Structure 1
Amino acid sequence: MPDSSGDPVRLMPTTTTATPALLVKVPLRTTSFVGRQALLRAVQEQLQAQDTRAVLPHALHGLGGVGKSQLALEYVYTHQHDYKVICWIPAERESLIVFALAGLAAHLGIAPGGRDSLGAPSADTAVPAVLEALRTGAPYDNWLLVFDNAEDIEMARSYFPTNGPGKVIVTSRNRHWERVATPLQVNVFERQESVELLQKRSPDLTPEDADRLAEALGDLPLAVEQAGAWRAVTGMLVDECLDLLAQGSPEILELDPNPDYPVSVAAAWDISLERIRENNPGARQLLDICAGMAPEPIPRSMLRGSRSVGIPPEVDALLRESIKLNRAVRDLSQFSLVKVDPRSDTIQMHRLLQTVLLAKLSAEERALVRDATHQLLAAAKPGSCSSPTEWPAYQALLPHVLASLAVISTDIYVRELVYDTVHFLYFWGDHEGAADLARQAWNAWSAVSGEEDIHVVRTARTLSFLLRQTGGIPESIPLVERALEVSRRSDGDPEELIESLVELADGRRYQGRFEEAWDLSKKATELARDLFGPEDPTTLRGTHSWGVDLRLRGQFREALPLDRENARLLEVLFGPTSFFTLNSLNGLSVGMRESGDYLSARDFQEDVHRQARTAFGEEHPLTLRIARDLAVCRRRDGALEEAAKLAEETLQRFITRYGPDHFDALFTATNVSVDLRLAGDHEGSRRLGETTLRGYVARLGENHAHTLLTKANLAATHRALGAPEQAQELEDDAARRLTDTVGPRHITTLTVAIGQANTAYALLDIERAHKIDSANLAELAEVAGEDHPLTLSCTANLALDLRRLGRGAEADEIQRKAVAGFSRVVRDDHPWLLAARQGRRIECDMAPMPL
């Protein structure tokens, strides 16, 4: 039996010696299950009829309370020997599906790079990995997934493995599943099944009395189960039971004339609820509080650890003494009002009971119950949301945070729970879910507290950041602009002003407004240094942002000492393998590379990559970003095959994680397109370059520097394909736009000019090539330095211009200068050095730098 970690359960076979399936997240078997043999056979027959080459769901649907989930659960345990792995997936919310699939990935060991030392997988790594594993049947074929309570058809179907060797069962009340699935209607019990369950609960019941009681209950399985529970506990006479049921029904209809639940089960619950209220008032009130949560399991640790919070005194008394709490849970369980799972140490309430309980409360009572629910959740807030060891605790609380509408609370501790939950979702990899919750919080808090409230300001910044991560740049910018306005006029903590400056700088980078970003991050850093000193975390965050902006402006030599010192301080503060330290070291290596020190940059980045792989694994986003920049370092150092291999692997991992249009995927695709061209796959380079360019235009716009350098790289591919006219059109447009946006002396603009001269040379317009190279050489020598490989490349190309113009002596001298310079700064077998020696044009590529 596993502990509360939720490890899968292997049950001993009862009817066969075959190895039972690996059961992942499957609830406990219901001991009171009776009958339904015809339905179980129908499930088996329809699943067998499914084409094993294509997953088609078999949907169980019907009214609430008819036992759809219990039927699916009984099928699982009855046929566990027919499958190799079975996973139960709560499907009412997308986040629950993601959690379940991530847990399955961890148990199957198929997402090792996305797991910490305790086996907590990241969502954006684990979910694609497990779906691919199910599709291919490795490590397990013949699997079964049960999507329980899946009301949103398209959302649930998006998580079905495609063409995999397994089966899918769906339980739902949504009849529209009939359009896409093989339906099986689940109705009320046959009378004999009702009688059997009642007598199983109360052996003293005669068949005649059980029949009378079943008639009054309408043979609804949930109502029969409930009546059987309180009849077994109380020993109530059947006539008295029938009187109470009759008395309860009109009251239920008064509460809700059109209930979403059968009247019989509500009336049956009324009897149990009244008895609990009489015997254990605190347990009855605890039930109301739990009704305000999600119908998913509630960790009992949340109750045990919640003392001295604003909840009713009767409930508070339960939480202060574990014996009283255990007694209350036992009483509720005996009346079948909650299910207790000792494996995960959770309790769970049927969603229909939650509906009944909430319907009984007045608006004022509901508000009090909701507040108590929020208080319990806030008191149970886990530790650092960025720590994988805390993720399971956040996962357990998330459905209750959402269902209880914690975002509407004005309590600061509840708001902190919501804020940290947003960040947990981001760190865990559910960026869309994080943005959605952040948006809910920002809307709710700003409406109640106003834009000056510190929680509103912080959430606006967070939402702005998350929108940029998910592609919503236009929407993100006004949010952080407004946050900065509020921070500037506020008399509050200056740290808020600094954070707003840094966040807006980040937004300006995505807009391509590098000068404004630099000004903002510089101000943030200087203010932080004055107020907090150079070693404060806020100062270090501002300094990192400033270094990013210096690199984007092409000021690599200015950025290097700043980045070196910041990385050193981060290592002292957070350790050598922390996220912040390694992220800073990655920026430092980019600066080293772009300043022209290709050899040292590669050696340095190889070490950073090794540290990231050790600390976070192959699949962590930071590891992948470091790998992407390492691939560029290898290419610039002349190791073309190694560079191409790493870049392609990294691109596929980014696509698997985020999709092809995510910024990380686009940045990497730009590099892979260059690698393909250098490897001679010109058509492949062109196709990928064109696709990537379209992605940049859609995400960053036509004038962003990253869009334009990708266009210039594509021009080089067209030259390689023998289409210089198309190359010229692309390059001239890129050069004009870059001149307008980042300036004529920006390193990217000057690198594009090297390509423009190459195009003119290919078109036999040697005069134009010479004019461009001559002017560009002077600019590069001043901006990048005379020994920068870009400057030396322009020098070598200028020698070729002169030679074609009949100026052989000048060409010889300039060529010797280029070769001598390359010999000092690159390896002996570097492609650019070889090209300079052999009198061939040098093509210089560009790589997007981190924003």
Structure 2
Amino acid sequence: MSSASVTGPHPCTEDGEKSLKSMIPRLLVGSMDEKNTVIPKALLTNAHEVASAYDHEGEWNMAENVWMAAFMVLKEELGEAHPSTLTCMSNLAGWHQQLGKYDAAEQLGLKAVMMRMDVLGDEHPHTLFSMSNLAMLYQRQGRYDMAKELQVPVVAAMKKTLGEEDPKALMSEANLAITCLRLGQYREAEEMEKKVLEARMRILSKDHTETLTSMADLASIYMEQNKYEEAKPLLLRVMDAKKQSLGPKHPETLASISNLASLYLLQGRWKPAEKLWRSIIPMMIEKLGKGHPHTLTCMASLATAYSNQGQYQAAEELLNEVVQTWKTLFSIEHTGTLSSTEKLALVLMEQSQYQESEKLLKQVIETRESRLGIEHPDTLQSKANLALIYDKQGRYEEAQQAGLLLVGTMSRVLGEDHLDTLSTMGNLALTYNHQGRCGEAEALQELVTQGTTRILGDEHAQTLTSMANLALTYYERAKYEEARNIATEVLVKGAKVFDNSHPTRLS
């Protein structure tokens, strides 16, 4: 797995070496005693202040270079095992991670953890901090079980060593909450993040950057549970605060805008979502580079917005670029590669390219089963998409068997009212219809329509799709008045939701 290419000088190049060396005099101002010996604490303070200034301007590559320069000085003057050098090493690993350089981040992060254990001990706050950073890297790589395995003892040790509401302890607990979210442990994640947010608002302030991070994380947890009304005010609050404190082009501001676009996408508001992503992607490329995970994620999300509006060719072209970039810069098994590959498979399915779509999706399922487990929400959703591809090809028996098994598993793992469960039930109902089992299809479609209406409202795209499918089933069963009433309602409400160019259809 190779690291992502980013803009800005890199130490392995001649320009990178010159850039780093040019920073050293600035870092040494006030950091030398009368014998011209480096004062470690003063140098670290200087590095923190200079890097923070670059961070505030969104110049993350330059912030990384500051810590590279500081690390070079401390390693040469004090040796690699000195506590100050290890602090610098850990911070540099964090910046590698922030810029998507996961190989470099893991190599340096592991080294920092092992050396701090040897020098400081297993439960020293600095050791725990390095372990927490390494767990965050595993989380970003989609290695969620490994992340949680590290985070659980870190949270317990930080609370014991620093106190229940120490900012570092709260940060480690917030990181654990997100890992739980990625593992599909929604209730645990929500309870944990609410607790962290409440403590941060009380201890720090409502506008503190860590408080805003908790708001954004809690909004993500709400969105995964389809609690869109709870998520929206949090996302708007974070976006406004980031714009005011950091400016409109800062990477954190752009991330907050992308989060709002994701909410719009989930709500079926595809045009507003598309508009937001189209506005921020050029700025993300400028600030972070085209190969940064945040940029690639936004590009894949924009492709989804295109696809949902029937712009399949545009979606396919964008996703091909995204998938290839993930594979080249990261790995075939990276969570970003898998997610974008699945999106590409669905776009190909919509264009009747079933063999290629099935091939890609089976690759995703195999990898997710081995990395996440057979009952992880992402694995289940991929299997549901494969069942849909079977149905599209007329392989109804395979689709029905897979769909029936999935509905049972999803109901148990996610809950009967989870949108993924309802979507899979809807697909199974379509397969029943294709098999001529209209009575079973009707019973399922009524449940799906009731569920989506309750969760999403009666004007959401997913609700309208389930209503349209129910209308068709009523028609097939000679329930003409019921079919006409629902179809009329779908047409009226669909005119508000769908763009005129969207291929809306009762299927």
The one-letter amino acid of 2:192's match is: L
Q: Kindly report which structure 2 residues correspond to 1:231-242, keeping only aligned pairs within 5 A, or say none.
A: none
692, 708, 719: which one aligns with 2:422: 708
The whole-number CA distance in structure 2 between the counterparts of 1:602 and 1:537 is: 26
More helix by share: 2
CA change 1:429–1:707 in 2 (3 A) is: closer
The whole-number CA distance in structure 1 between the counterparts of 2:138 and 2:117 is: 13
The whole-number CA distance in structure 1 between the counterparts of 2:312 and 2:417 is: 29
Q: Are the counterparts in 2 of residues 407 and 444 from structure 1 also a CA contact under 8 Å? A: no
Q: Which residue of 2 aligns with 1:671?
A: 385
The one-letter amino acid of 2:416's match is: E
Q: Are the counterparts in 2 of residues 550 and 559 from structure 1 also a CA contact under 8 Å? A: yes
SS in 2 for 1:408: coil
SS in 1 for 2:358: helix
Match status 1:392 vs 2:107:
yes
> 1:629 Cα shift?
0.6
Q: Are the counterparts in 2 of residues 738 and 749 from structure 1 also a CA contact under 8 Å? A: yes
Q: Which residue of 2 aligns with 1:66?
A: none
The whole-number CA distance in structure 2 between the counterparts of 1:561 and 1:639 is: 28
> 1:699 Cα shift?
3.5
The whole-number CA distance in structure 2 between the counterparts of 1:722 and 1:476 is: 43
CA change 1:754–1:761 in 2 (3 A) is: same
The whole-number CA distance in structure 2 between the counterparts of 1:494 and 1:621 is: 30
Q: Which residue of 2 aligns with 1:773?
A: 487
Q: Are the counterparts in 2 of residues 666 and 692 from structure 1 also a CA contact under 8 Å? A: yes
CA change 1:374–1:660 in 2 (3 A) is: farther
The whole-number CA distance in structure 2 between the counterparts of 1:559 and 1:489 is: 33
SS in 2 for 1:680: coil
CA change 1:307–1:646 in 2 (3 A) is: closer
Q: Which residue of 2 aligns with 1:628?
A: 342
156, 166, 171: which one aligns with 1:453: 166
The one-letter amino acid of 1:116's match is: S
Gaps of 5+ in 1: 1-114, 119-304, 310-318, 323-371, 795-842, 844-851
More contact order relative to length (CA 8 Å, sep ≥ 6): 2
CA change 1:630–1:572 in 2 (3 A) is: same
The one-letter amino acid of 2:2's match is: D
Matched length:
433
> 1:377 Cα shift?
5.9
Q: Are the counterparts in 1 of residues 113 and 127 from structure 2 also a CA contact under 8 Å? A: no
> 1:608 Cα shift?
2.5
The one-letter amino acid of 1:481's match is: K
Range moving further from structure 2, 441-450 or 720-729: 441-450
The one-letter amino acid of 2:316's match is: R
Q: Are the counterparts in 2 of residues 406 and 415 from structure 1 also a CA contact under 8 Å? A: no
The whole-number CA distance in structure 1 between the counterparts of 2:444 and 2:117 is: 49
Match status 1:594 vs 2:308:
yes
Q: Which residue of 2 aligns with 1:526?
A: 240
CA change 1:482–1:777 in 2 (3 A) is: same
Match status 1:462 vs 2:196:
no
Q: Which residue of 1 aligns with 2:218?
A: 504
228, 236, 259: which one aligns with 1:545: 259
> 1:689 Cα shift?
1.6
> 1:306 Cα shift?
12
The whole-number CA distance in structure 1 between the counterparts of 2:155 and 2:490 is: 50
The whole-number CA distance in structure 1 between the counterparts of 2:83 and 2:424 is: 50
Q: Kindly report which structure 2 residues correspond to 1:565-580, keeping only aligned pairs within 5 A, or say none.
A: 565-580=279-294
Q: Which residue of 1 aligns with 2:499?
A: 785
Q: Kindly report which structure 2 residues correspond to 1:204-223, keeping only aligned pairs within 5 A, or say none.
A: none
The one-letter amino acid of 1:722's match is: G
Q: Are the counterparts in 2 of residues 418 and 441 from structure 1 also a CA contact under 8 Å? A: yes
Q: Are the counterparts in 2 of residues 374 and 414 from structure 1 also a CA contact under 8 Å? A: no
> 1:403 Cα shift?
8.6
Normalised to the residue count of structure 1, the TM-score between the two structures is 0.48
SS in 1 for 2:291: coil
The whole-number CA distance in structure 2 between the counterparts of 1:749 and 1:594 is: 14
Q: Are the counterparts in 2 of residues 470 and 662 from structure 1 also a CA contact under 8 Å? A: yes
The whole-number CA distance in structure 1 between the counterparts of 2:83 and 2:143 is: 23
Q: Are the counterparts in 1 of residues 285 and 295 from structure 2 also a CA contact under 8 Å? A: yes
Q: Are the counterparts in 2 of residues 477 and 504 from structure 1 also a CA contact under 8 Å? A: yes
The whole-number CA distance in structure 1 between the counterparts of 2:121 and 2:261 is: 38
Match status 1:644 vs 2:358:
yes
CA change 1:546–1:402 in 2 (3 A) is: farther
The whole-number CA distance in structure 1 between the counterparts of 2:418 and 2:161 is: 38
The whole-number CA distance in structure 2 between the counterparts of 1:443 and 1:429 is: 23
Q: Which residue of 2 aligns with 1:480?
A: 193
Q: Which residue of 1 aligns with 2:49?
A: none
Range moving further from structure 2, 558-567 or 484-493: 484-493
The whole-number CA distance in structure 2 between the counterparts of 1:610 and 1:424 is: 22
416, 424, 429: which one aligns with 2:129: 416
> 1:750 Cα shift?
0.3
- Residue by residue over 1:762-795, the C-alpha shift from the partner in whole angstroms, topping out at 9 and shown as x without a partner, is 32323322222122111111211343211xx24x
Q: Are the counterparts in 1 of residues 79 and 85 from structure 2 also a CA contact under 8 Å? A: no
- Residue by residue over 1:520-560, the C-alpha shift from the partner in whole angstroms, topping out at 9 and shown as x without a partner, is 21221122112211111221221121111111111111111
CA change 1:404–1:778 in 2 (3 A) is: farther
Q: Are the counterparts in 2 of residues 415 and 455 from structure 1 also a CA contact under 8 Å? A: no
Q: Kindly report which structure 2 residues correspond to 1:667-706, keeping only aligned pairs within 5 A, or say none.
A: 667-706=381-420
Q: Kindly report which structure 2 residues correspond to 1:252-291, keeping only aligned pairs within 5 A, or say none.
A: none
The whole-number CA distance in structure 2 between the counterparts of 1:400 and 1:586 is: 39
Q: Are the counterparts in 1 of residues 109 and 130 from structure 2 also a CA contact under 8 Å? A: no
SS in 2 for 1:703: coil
- Residue by residue over 1:707-766, the C-alpha shift from the partner in whole angstroms, topping out at 9 and shown as x without a partner, is 211111111111122211111111111111111111111110000112112221232323
The whole-number CA distance in structure 2 between the counterparts of 1:495 and 1:755 is: 46
The whole-number CA distance in structure 1 between the counterparts of 2:246 and 2:78 is: 42
Q: Kindly report which structure 2 residues correspond to 1:113-512, keeping only aligned pairs within 5 A, or say none.
A: 115-116=1-2, 378=87, 381=90, 383=93, 384-385=96-97, 387-396=102-111, 398=113, 408-410=123-125, 413-427=126-140, 430-491=143-204, 494-512=208-226
- Residue by residue over 1:26-84, the C-alpha shift from the partner in whole angstroms, topping out at 9 and shown as x without a partner, is xxxxxxxxxxxxxxxxxxxxxxxxxxxxxxxxxxxxxxxxxxxxxxxxxxxxxxxxxxx
Q: Are the counterparts in 2 of residues 452 and 486 from structure 1 also a CA contact under 8 Å? A: yes
Q: Are the counterparts in 2 of residues 375 and 414 from structure 1 also a CA contact under 8 Å? A: no
The whole-number CA distance in structure 1 between the counterparts of 2:348 and 2:401 is: 23
The whole-number CA distance in structure 2 between the counterparts of 1:788 and 1:722 is: 29
SS in 2 for 1:502: helix
The one-letter amino acid of 2:371's match is: R
SS in 1 for 2:458: coil
SS in 2 for 1:528: helix
- Residue by residue over 1:561-580, the C-alpha shift from the partner in whole angstroms, topping out at 9 and shown as x without a partner, is 11112222111111112111
Q: Are the counterparts in 2 of residues 306 and 379 from structure 1 also a CA contact under 8 Å? A: no
Q: Which residue of 1 aligns with 2:31?
A: none
Which protein has the larger Cα radius of gyration, Structure 1 or Structure 2? Answer: 1
Q: Which residue of 1 aligns with 2:443?
A: 729
The whole-number CA distance in structure 1 between the counterparts of 2:502 and 2:142 is: 40
> 1:508 Cα shift?
0.7
Q: Are the counterparts in 2 of residues 556 and 595 from structure 1 also a CA contact under 8 Å? A: yes
SS in 2 for 1:478: helix
SS in 2 for 1:789: coil
Q: Which residue of 2 aligns with 1:611?
A: 325
> RMSD over aligned Cα, in angstroms?
2.9
The whole-number CA distance in structure 1 between the counterparts of 2:163 and 2:425 is: 45
Gaps of 5+ in 2: 5-70
The whole-number CA distance in structure 2 between the counterparts of 1:321 and 1:377 is: 9
SS in 2 for 1:619: coil
Q: Which residue of 1 aligns with 2:19?
A: none
The whole-number CA distance in structure 1 between the counterparts of 2:131 and 2:325 is: 33
CA change 1:735–1:418 in 2 (3 A) is: same
> 1:401 Cα shift?
6.2
The one-letter amino acid of 2:376's match is: H
Q: Are the counterparts in 2 of residues 628 and 668 from structure 1 also a CA contact under 8 Å? A: yes
> 1:622 Cα shift?
0.7
More strand by share: 1
The whole-number CA distance in structure 2 between the counterparts of 1:785 and 1:540 is: 26
Normalised to the residue count of structure 2, the TM-score between the two structures is 0.78
Q: Are the counterparts in 1 of residues 113 and 131 from structure 2 also a CA contact under 8 Å? A: no
The one-letter amino acid of 2:254's match is: L
